[in-house]
Homo-oligomer: A and B are copies of this chain.
Amino acid sequence: MSDLMERRRELLGPNVSTFYEEPVHIVRGDGVWLWDKDGRRYLDCYNNVAHVGHCNPRVVDALCAQARTLNTHTRYLHEGILDYVERLTATFDDPLSTAIMTCTGSEANDIALRMAEAMTGKRGIIATDATYHGNTTLVSHLSRSNVPAVGFGLGAYLRHVEAPDSYRIDDPDGNRFAALVARAVEDLQASGIGVAALIVCPIFLNEGFPAQAEGWLRPAAEVVHKAGGLLICDEVQAGFGRCGSHFWGHQKQGVVPDIVTMGKPMGNGHPVAGVVTTPDIMARFRTSSRYFNTFGGNPVSCAAAMAVLDELQEKDLQAKALAIGAMAHERLSALADTYEVIGDVRQTGMVFGAEFVTDRETKQPASDYADRVVNAMRNRGILLSKLGRHKNTLKIRPPMPFGAEHLDLLIETLDDVMSQTPLVAR
Contact = CB atoms under 8 A, between A and B. Distances in A.
B99 A149 contact: no
Given A114-B148, A269-B300, 16 more contacts: A8-B77, A11-B82, A12-B81, A15-B287, A16-B286, A19-B76, A24-B76, A26-B76, A34-B72, A63-B63, A71-B269, A72-B269, A104-B294, A107-B136, A114-B151, A117-B151
Given A157-B152, A269-B300, A71 B29 contact: yes
Q: Which of A4, A148, A271, A301 has the most CB of B within 10 A?
A: A271
A100 B76 CA distance: 31
Interface in A52-91: 54-55, 60, 63-64, 67-79, 81-82, 85-86, 89
A25 interface: yes
Q: Which 9 A-B pairs have the closest CB atoms?
A: A13-B282, A71-B269, A271-B295, A149-B288, A271-B271, A25-B77, A64-B64, A15-B286, A103-B103
A54 B263 CA distance: 26
A143 B270 CA distance: 29
Contact of A152 (B99, B117, B263): B117
Q: How many copies does the complex hold?
A: 2
Given A68-B55, A85-B11, A157-B152, A289 B77 contact: no
A7 interface: yes
Contacts of A71: 29, 50, 54-55, 268-270
A307 to B, nearest CB: 12
Interface string A270-291: 1110000001001101111111
A290 B17 contact: yes
Contacts of A283: 13-14
Interface residues of A, number: 102
A169 B266 CA distance: 49
Contacts of A113: 137, 152
A298 interface: yes
A17 B76 CA distance: 9
Contacts of A217: none
Contacts of A54: 70-72
Contacts of A28: 69-70
Given A7-B86, A8-B77, A114 B68 contact: no
Report which residue of A28, A77, A106 has the largest number of chain B beta carbons within 10 angstroms of its beta carbon: A77
A82 B15 contact: no
Contacts of A152: 113-114, 117, 123, 138, 154, 157
Interface in A153-202: 153-154, 157
A5 to B, nearest CB: 7
Interface in A108-161: 110, 113-114, 117-118, 123, 135-138, 140, 146, 148-154, 157
Contacts of A135: 107, 291-293
A424 interface: no
Contact of A69 (B55, B77, B137): B55
A63 B67 contact: yes
B140 A138 contact: no
Contact of A138 (B24, B73, B138): B138
Interface in A235-290: 263-264, 268-272, 279, 282-283, 285-290
Nearest to A69: B28
Given A7-B82, A82-B4, A82-B8, A149 B13 contact: no
B7 A294 contact: no
A283 B13 CA distance: 6
6 contacts: A14-B286, A28-B69, A49-B295, A71-B270, A105-B294, A270-B271
Contacts of A34: 70, 72, 76
A134 to B, nearest CB: 9
Interface hub of A29, A114, A294 (most chain B Cβ within 10 A): A294
